[in-house]
Structure 1
């Protein structure tokens, strides 16, 4: 009985040791082993791995895209301070996971990415006016910050996918000036539309007047003395056939018609 219990205890100990020597790297992660605190150079893909729990430890890093959000004050070319909400989309290069843990550690966002972003954004934004951050230049600013961060972080094992200026808060006087400028531009565009419409209408009237003039000219050229005399005769014939009583006064050339009523 004692031997049976002894074997059972040994079996449970072995099973516990086996289970404790297995670790899982999740689907969206990569793993790196450390032995006696020393980082191994190999990056491990998601899956089940066996380790010696007494000497080895499995460290994991996210392999997916990460959205790092922060609120920061940015300088402008004219010396203003612009408040902005920023999103930095980045991910770790899998093959560099061991080097990241070895040289930077888990606090890479605070230790490396954020300082690099602050430096790059200050350098880029200082070349643009505050109004540019509310115009089509915003995408140019984003791309330049991203390019600058790539130069500094690519060799450190980080891929910067995008830098997004999600919201910009300008000083009140600058915002008011921009709004007034936009309103003036809209008024100018509206006035230009009105002028174009009036010019088109004037052109239409000129064409219409020229058409009437040409029509009258054609008619006038066609109304010869013989034609007018013929038309007079035709009109008198029609009057004769009419049942109404008419008084016709004529000099033989041009008739004048009087209704007897």
Structure 2
């Protein structure tokens, strides 16, 4: 609008000096033409609006917001209208207990009361984006600051509303995924009614009171010790079973040997052993007339 304003000023000056009594009246016509050119140029430049990728333009004329949005690129609009860029890319909003980690400085974690009355501290990140078709309605009803007016309060409220259905220990361990799915559905519904799309809800951390944490750790350690003891007992039972099988095999062998061997069988086995010993290259001593009428052979 700068060129339009400048052109109007020059045009007014041209009419003002268009008086025959003035020596500069001969410049009135060129001044008028220059003013008109600047006005036309200003109108053309004001009619062209560029929208960046990942944004949509919201057109407002005299306080009235149009339902038509401007797509990325160059767009022709009423030169008197104002255009507001609104981001439609994926955005994230983090609420964390760590200083300067989230959008708010300081401790911005969500503190809720579980079903057992214990206080649970939750760190959360919300991934969402603005629906382009709903941008004019959101601008008309909420304005540009919809993050602090919609995203933050709805998220914190729905988490507190749903946390009362779970015990603190369940939120921390066994039912964490169930809790995350439950709050996702509740927040998604509220966001959709406002023109926002909830893409993902990330429960980054759930902190319990120190006493509860210590109790859980003690329980986990006891369970691990019990599992270790079960393993040791199972190993000892297997070793005892192995020894019983081995002893039974020895007993069976001794019983078979005691009942199945005769004197002739023993004599035959001695002869076989002596023949093998005699065939070896080692030096040996043969003592005749040993027990059982069998030579006794001794080697080195």
Unaligned stretches of 5+ in structure 1? none
TM-score normalised to structure 1 length: 0.84
Note the C-alpha offset of 1:238. 6.6
Note the C-alpha offset of 1:186. 1.6
- For residues 58 and 81 of structure 1, what CA distance do their matches in structure 2 show? 46
- For residues 204 and 167 of structure 1, what CA distance do their matches in structure 2 show? 50
Could you tell me whether the CA contact under 8 Å between 1:247 and 1:260 is conserved in 2?
no
1:18-71: CA deviation from partner (whole Å, max 9, x where unpaired) = 2232212211112221222111112332121122232x1212221111101122
Could you tell me whether the CA contact under 8 Å between 2:124 and 2:204 is conserved in 1?
yes
Aligned CA-pair RMSD: 3.0
How many aligned positions are there?
259
- Equivalence for 1:227: 265
- Equivalence for 1:248: 288
- Indicate yes or no: 2:88 matched with 1:63: yes
1:151-208: CA deviation from partner (whole Å, max 9, x where unpaired) = 2222221111222221222211111111111211221222222222223333333444
Could you tell me whether the CA contact under 8 Å between 2:285 and 2:297 is conserved in 1?
no
- Equivalence for 2:63: 37
* 1:135-214 paired onto structure 2 within 5 Å: 135-214=173-252
- For residues 168 and 129 of structure 1, what CA distance do their matches in structure 2 show? 12
- Equivalence for 2:98: none
TM-score normalised to structure 2 length: 0.74
Unaligned stretches of 5+ in structure 2? 1-25, 96-108
- For residues 173 and 299 of structure 2, what CA distance do their matches in structure 1 show? 82
Note the C-alpha offset of 1:121. 0.6
- Equivalence for 1:91: 129
Could you tell me whether the CA contact under 8 Å between 2:110 and 2:122 is conserved in 1?
yes
Q: Which has the higher contact order (CA 8 A, sep 6+)?
A: 1
